[in-house]
Amino acid sequence: MTAETTPFGIGVLGAGTVGGAFAELLPERAEAIVNLTGLRPEITGVLTRSRGDFDDIVERSQLIVELIGGLEPARDYVLRAMRAGRHVVTANKQLLAVHGEELWATAREHGVQLRFEGAVAGVVPVIRVMQESLAGSHVERVSGIVNGTTNYILTEMAAKGVSYAEALADAQRLGYAEADPSDDVNGKDAAAKMAILARLAFDTPVSLDDVPYEGIEDITAEDMQFARDLRLGLKLIGTAERVDGGLSVRVHPTLLYSGHPLASVHGPYNAVTVEAPAITEITMSGPGAGGPQTATAVLGDVISAMIPPASTPETTQRLPMIEDVVSAFYVRMEVADRPGVLAQVAEVLGMQGCSIKQLYQHGLGDDARLVMTIHPVLESRLFAALQLIGRLDFIRSAPHAIRVIEEEYV
Ligand SMILES: NC(=O)c1ccc[n+]([C@@H]2O[C@H](COP(=O)([O-])OP(=O)(O)OC[C@H]3O[C@@H](n4cnc5c(N)ncnc54)[C@H](OP(=O)(O)O)[C@@H]3O)[C@@H](O)[C@H]2O)c1
């Protein structure tokens, strides 16, 4: 191609981990992009807190890349860019999980593209697969390990027997966890990503508020030891599935058998499993974050936006959100070691329709730790039983429950 190739102006909002990597990657790949699209990508300006002028950047760009993060001013900039007729590429999961419907409606209204591959699972192309390859499938369930920080911590705890605090400190030292890791370890980051995936997979509005989430802060080294004894792996799993004509989307620590495709996803990796009758199961995995990795996903979106348009998702239905679902459980509790305790625990569980599958008892001096697995039951029944058990006089530490996925695919 020659120097007369038509330029394609790209304005970049944010110059941090991802924005900086994107600004480095684009010139490196410019010739390849010219060959692919016939257009020459050029960065028209970069906006940070201390430099750049938003209106000037928009004026000179055909596409805006939003890599600021958070809700405001990112939302305002994205809306203004689209209203001015500019395509937008973003990696901002919180923004899409909270304001997605408003942003998609604005993109449709103004005939521009809003692309967001980097917002979920980094460079793993889950959004593209969901929007394009599987657009004709009747998806039944999407499950994912969509937060690399927590997967790194749980992997370390399982492999080295270290405590949660030790594994978190290690993750921070290696740059896998932020100085303030709250939204990663409490499950909120994963919940935002599952809201976006559910929105695409089930063609119904889903926002962060619809997704109950639980983090990994209460997982102990003992839980890991018992999980190993039970041949189970422990992961922070996001699930979005059809239940009784509605939809359940949730995130919580979950025990998996080794035959589950997500059981072998270790370290800071992400993976998403999609299940539909015609495809059985597809699992995609890879690096879930990092500047260069996410910048690669962002660049892929930029190139797609430079070629012909992709449709911006419009919902055609509104599925009811289902909060109570059936799950198998692992439960641990510490009790006084005296006759009749087990019988009382079993009785309360039985009254709520919960049936014990396996039971282990470990002596702790005058006390004992009970570890059990429970056959699938409505979650509300199990939690009601545990609340009652927690009030009994022989309880030394409140019962702690972790969901178990019993399906194995290989
Ligand atoms: N880091 C990852 O691995 C990763 C992975 C997937 C998705 N993401 C998403 O990518 C986005 C960017 O993340 P990041 O890690 O690159 O963030 P970051 O390192 O904190 O960088 C944020 C950038 O935005 C700029 N900025 C912040 N507030 C601004 C404002 N009010 N006006 C203008 N500029 C502002 C900052 O400017 P200053 O330089 O002036 O502070 C900085 O350049 C987020 O949505 C994040 O969730 C990140």
Helix (H, G, I), strand (E, B), or coil: what is residue 49? coil
**What letter would DSSP give residue 232?**
E
Ligand 1, atom 5, lies closest to the CA of 289
Q: Please, what's the b/e burial string for 331-363 (b: 16 or more CB within 10 A of its CB; e: otherwise)?
A: bbbbbebeeebeeebeebbeebebebeeeeeee
| Catalytic position from the list 93, 193, 235, 357 | 193
The 3-state DSSP class for residue 156 equals: helix
Per-residue pLDDT band for 407 (boundaries 50, 70, 90) equals: confident
- Regarding the beta carbon of 19 and ligand 1, being less than 6 Å apart is answered yes
Q: What is the pLDDT of residue 310?
A: 61
**Six-digit token string for 62:** 């055909």
State pLDDT tens for residues 361-373: 988 889 999 999 9
Whether residue 161 contacts residue 222, with contact meaning beta carbons closer than 8 Å, is answered with no
Ligand 1 binding pocket includes 15 (Cβ within 6 Å):
yes
Residues in the chain: 410
Could you give phi then psi for residue 18, rounded to 5 degrees?
-85, -45
pLDDT digits (tens, 9 = 90+) for 177-210: 888 999 999 999 999 999 999 999 999 999 999 9
- Indicate if the alpha-carbon torsion angle 407, 185, 75, 116 is positive or negative: negative
Burial classification of residue 11, based on how many CB atoms lie within 10 Å of its CB (0-12 exposed, 13-18 middle, 19 or more buried): buried
Tell whether the torsion through CA atoms of 76, 80, 86 and 87 is positive or negative. positive
Ligand 1 center to 66 CA (angstroms): 9
Between CA 337 and CA 361 the distance in angstroms is: 10
Ligand 1 and 49: CB distance under 6 A = yes
With contact defined as beta carbons under 8 Å apart, do 239 and 248 qualify? yes
The answer on pLDDT for 216 being more than 90 is yes
Q: Is the pLDDT of residue 317 over 70?
A: yes
Q: What SS3 state is found at 20?
A: helix
Q: Kindly state if the Cβ of 290 falls inside 6 Å of ligand 1.
A: yes
Ligand 1 center–CA 13 separation, angstroms:
8
Strands (E), 91-164: 114-115, 141-145
Distance between CA atoms of residues 20 and 388, nearest Å: 53
Q: Which residue has the tokens 């619809």?
A: 210
Which whole-number Å values give the CA distances from 10 to 23, 43, 128, 208, in the listed order?
Answer: 10, 5, 21, 30
pLDDT at residue 109, as a whole number: 96
The reply to whether ligand 1 has any atom less than 6 angstroms from the CB of 73 is yes
Q: What's the 16 CA to ligand 1 centre distance in angstroms?
A: 5
Q: Indicate if 188 belongs to the active site.
A: no
What does the DSSP 8-state code read for residue 5? Answer: S
Across the range 387-398, mean pLDDT stands at 96
Q: Stretch 159-183: mean pLDDT, rounded?
A: 94
Contact status, residue 398 vs residue 390, Cβ threshold 8 Å: yes
Average the pLDDT over 153-163 and give the result: 97
Q: Is the CB of 92 under 6 A from ligand 1?
A: yes
Q: What is the mean pLDDT of residues 243-272?
A: 96
Q: Are 194 and 144 in contact (CB under 8 A)?
A: yes
Give distance in angstroms: CA of 19 to centre of ligand 1.
7
Instruction: Taking residues 303-332, report their average pLDDT.
Output: 87
User: Does the C-beta of 287 come closer than 6 Å to ligand 1?
Assistant: no
**What is the mean predicted confidence (pLDDT) over 252-264?**
95
**What mean pLDDT do residues 68-96 have?**
98
For 27-62, the pLDDT digits (tens) are 999 999 999 999 999 999 999 999 999 999 999 999
Instruction: Specify whether the CB–CB gap between 399 and 333 falls below 8 A.
Output: yes
The pick from 22, 47, 49, 50 for probing ligand 1's pocket by mutation, whose C-beta has the most ligand atoms within 8 angstroms, reads 49
Q: How far is the CA of 14 from the centre of ligand 1 (A)?
A: 5
Q: What are phi and psi of 379, to 5 degrees?
A: -55, -40
pTM attached to this predicted model: 0.93
Mean pLDDT of the chain: 94
Q: Where are the beta strands (DSSP E) in 140-207?
A: 141-145
Residue nearest atom 30 in ligand 1 by C-alpha distance: 49
CB 126 within 8 A of CB 197: yes
Question: With 80 as the cut, is the pLDDT of residue 1 above it?
Answer: no
Mean pLDDT check: name the lowest of 16-25, 155-164, 308-317, 356-365: 308-317
Of all protein residues, whose CA lies closest to atom 3 belonging to ligand 1? 290
Residue 91 Cβ inside 6 Å of ligand 1? The answer reads: yes
CA 203 to centroid of ligand 1, rounded, Å: 29
Residue 172: is it exposed, middle or buried by C-beta count within 10 angstroms (0-12/13-18/19+)? middle
pLDDT tens by residue, 268-288:
999 999 999 988 999 999 998
CA of 364 to the centre of ligand 1 (A): 49
pLDDT of residue 312: 66
pLDDT higher at 408 or 85: 85
Protein residue whose Cα sits closest to atom 19 of ligand 1: 16
Do the strands 367-378 and 356-364 form a parallel or antiparallel pair, or are they unpaired? antiparallel
Cβ 48 under 6 angstroms from ligand 1: yes
Given the DSSP bridges, would you call strands 63-66 and 87-90 parallel, antiparallel or unpaired? Answer: parallel
Say yes or no to pLDDT of 2 above 70: no
Question: Which residue lies with its CA nearest to atom 32 of ligand 1?
Answer: 49
For residues 112-128, give the mean pLDDT: 94
**Model pLDDT, residue 242:** 97
